[in-house]
Structure 1
Amino acid sequence: MRILVTGATGFLGGAAALALAQAGHEVIATGRDPLRGAALEAQGLTFLAADLRGDPAPLVRPVDAVLHCAARSTLWGRWPDFYADNVQVSARLAQACARSGVRLVHVSTPSVYNATGLTRRVPESIPVGPRFDSLYARSKYLAELEVRAALPDAAILRPRGLYGPGDTSLMPRLVRALRSGRLPRLTRQEVHTELTHVGNAVHAARLALEQPAAGLFNVTDGVTVPIWATLDRLADRLGTPRPARVVPARWVEGAATLLEAAYRLRPGTPEPPITASAVRLLTRPMTLDLTRARERLGYAPLIHPAEGLAEVLAGLL
């Protein structure tokens, strides 16, 4: 199969492009980083530097399927940028796939569930919106609507908390927070959540490409992870103090909200040292129902979080 992978110079897209090529598919990788693109070419992939805000039709016409990993994936930013990069790009790409009869697997996020109040075995069928807890979540949900309207048979994956080799977001953020020495313990009780090793996310994407099934699919490692015990292990590995000073999460979330408001008064400023969304990720449990992915895609996690997190910790030093 000839597959276009967008966002291939990013974390998930890069891992997916390489894995699909190793599985025997012909992969065309796109992205904005020419250095990472050159690294992909050195491993035998075809790389095209592309700005997806333009017309995607020339990229889509020669392929059999598209894996859309490209996105503005951050907890901080301006709505016009989120809308342009996540909503409009996804809409145009889905429309181009529909016109060319090309299979589309679109990567979204379970962040769309965050404002629903449901935290255990969250199914894809739960109504979401119109309120979201971040601009990112709102933009990704609107992108899903555009994809489903243009291409009802598209597969939309919602992997939670991506981590693993090459991670540029989750673990690096936690490492910076621990090394700063300013991360308090936000709860006296443990918080259990689910994460997704990049290898498991790639596995789900490959299944969705090779044996098409339409609709929404939650994706995780399938096993809960204790957030604060994991942070303690991470601190021990880094040789930094474990978070010990307990500060109520509602105080920190309130302060982060005020800080965000102050930062937004100065357009172009970098991300605040702490955001309300980041606080919620550390203090609110969530597990996802994987029934649909298991039954319709045949998905079963290949990598257990004990193995995946041990791999990440081993690679830190």
Structure 2
Amino acid sequence: MNVLVTGATGYIGSAVAEALQTAGHQVIGLARSDDSAHKLESRGIQVRRGDLRHPASLAEAIQDVDAVIHTASTNDADMAQAERSAVKTILAALSGTGKTFIYTTGTWLLGNTGDRVATEDSPLDPTPLIAWRAELEELVLSGRDHHIRTIVIRPALVYGQGGGIVAMMVQSASQYGVVQYVGTGENRWTLIHVEDLSRCYVAALEHAQSGSLFIAADDQVIRLREIAQLVSQATGIPGRVQPWHLDEARAAMGAFADALALDQQVNGAKAKQALNWQLQALSLVDELTGGSYVVTR
């Protein structure tokens, strides 16, 4: 298929683009800047110029593709507004075509699960940072009523290839000589390696039914304090970890602090079974003890 990927130079999008290429699909990347365009071209990705904030350019980029995979995010104060506009533009462009639209949200929409293991059927209790994504999930899935093959993927906390939130912890530890974690550290994170996640997108593109929603998560559930200890080992400061009171973290990071403090257990069995999706990538422990996060001094 000819697949347009938004965010194809980003953390998740670049991995998705590579996985699509490996699977034999023609990848088209949406580029807002010359720098992004050059990065895409260097990886053998066809470039379409466009901007999530400019609906006309986005609609034009979509015209002759078979599928759109939306992984981009503006990551600014106008993110929610830009995302709503982009989703509505994509749905309008694909309406009546039977073509595929895969949208990315996340398990933070499920809020604190505690000892309960959440699935795709669990009620939403979104953390404030991304609460607005809940309505967009519904909007995307309703596209099936307009002859669009719509799919939503909710990744767990993404790690691997030296990126994501774990990379932020590594960088902070390297700079300040201590690993801080928000709250008590007893909260649990459910994880997914970015390479396994990218293969989930490919499997969904090739096999998912319209209107499907999938949690993309592996079998790792690790307490934040344990992750902090692993980060301290990876950065050469073993054992130098300390809690960061949630109120203080909120003052510094806003609603992002509440997201980091979520206690979550989620189940990715549906995607594995329905899509024949198989996990292959390194565990977080392996990535932090001998993989992409180890800091060489």
TM-score range, shorter chain: 0.7 to 0.9
Contact 1:181 1:241 in 2 (8 A): no
* Partner of residue 148 from structure 1, selected from 138, 141, 147: 141
Whole-angstrom CA distance in 2 between matches of 1:229 and 1:217: 27
> What is the TM-score when the length of structure 2 is the normalising length?
0.85
| Distance change in 2, residues 1:37/1:296 (3 Å) | same
Deviation track 1:106-133 (CA, whole Å, cap 9, x = no partner) reads: 111111111x54553211112225xx32
Identity of aligned residues (%): 23
> What amino acid is aligned across from residue 148 of structure 1 in structure 2?
L
> What amino acid is aligned across from residue 222 of structure 1 in structure 2?
D
Partner in structure 2 of residue 218 of structure 1: 215
* Partner of residue 67 from structure 2, selected from 61, 65, 68: 65
Q: Which stretch of the first structure deviates more once superposed, 91-100 or 175-184?
A: 175-184
RMSD, matched Cα: 2.6
Matched, 1:134 2:148: no
| Distance change in 2, residues 1:128/1:230 (3 Å) | closer
> What amino acid is aligned across from residue 275 of structure 2 in structure 1?
L
Whole-angstrom CA distance in 2 between matches of 1:298 and 1:254: 43
**3-state SS of 2:291 partner:** helix
Whole-angstrom CA distance in 2 between matches of 1:174 and 1:38: 30
Whole-angstrom CA distance in 2 between matches of 1:174 and 1:189: 14
More strand by share: 2
Contact 2:80 2:132 in 1 (8 A): yes
Matched, 1:172 2:198: no
The aligned runs of 1:299-310 (5 Å cut-off) are 299-305=277-283, 306-309=285-288, 310=290
**3-state SS of 1:218 partner:** strand
| Distance change in 2, residues 1:256/1:3 (3 Å) | same
> Where do 5+ consecutive residues of structure 2 fail to align?
none
> What amino acid is aligned across from residue 188 of structure 2 in structure 1?
H
Deviation track 1:5-44 (CA, whole Å, cap 9, x = no partner) reads: 1111211111111221122111111133432431221221
**3-state SS of 2:73 partner:** coil
> What amino acid is aligned across from residue 39 of structure 1 in structure 2?
K
Matched, 1:50 2:30: no
* Partner of residue 84 from structure 1, selected from 81, 85, 92: 81
Whole-angstrom CA distance in 2 between matches of 1:18 and 1:32: 19
> What amino acid is aligned across from residue 209 of structure 1 in structure 2?
L
Q: What's the CA shift for 1:187?
A: 6.2
Q: Which stretch of the first structure deviates more once superposed, 118-127 or 177-186?
A: 177-186
> Where do 5+ consecutive residues of structure 1 fail to align?
260-271
Whole-angstrom CA distance in 1 between matches of 2:255 and 2:217: 23
Partner in structure 1 of residue 27 of structure 2: 27
**3-state SS of 1:70 partner:** coil
Q: How many residues align?
A: 288
Q: What's the CA shift for 1:188?
A: 6.3
> What amino acid is aligned across from residue 80 of structure 2 in structure 1?
Y
Whole-angstrom CA distance in 1 between matches of 2:193 and 2:187: 19
Deviation track 1:54-90 (CA, whole Å, cap 9, x = no partner) reads: 23332222111111111245xxx53xx1222222211
| Distance change in 2, residues 1:140/1:72 (3 Å) | farther
> What amino acid is aligned across from residue 65 of structure 1 in structure 2?
A
Partner in structure 2 of residue 296 of structure 1: 274
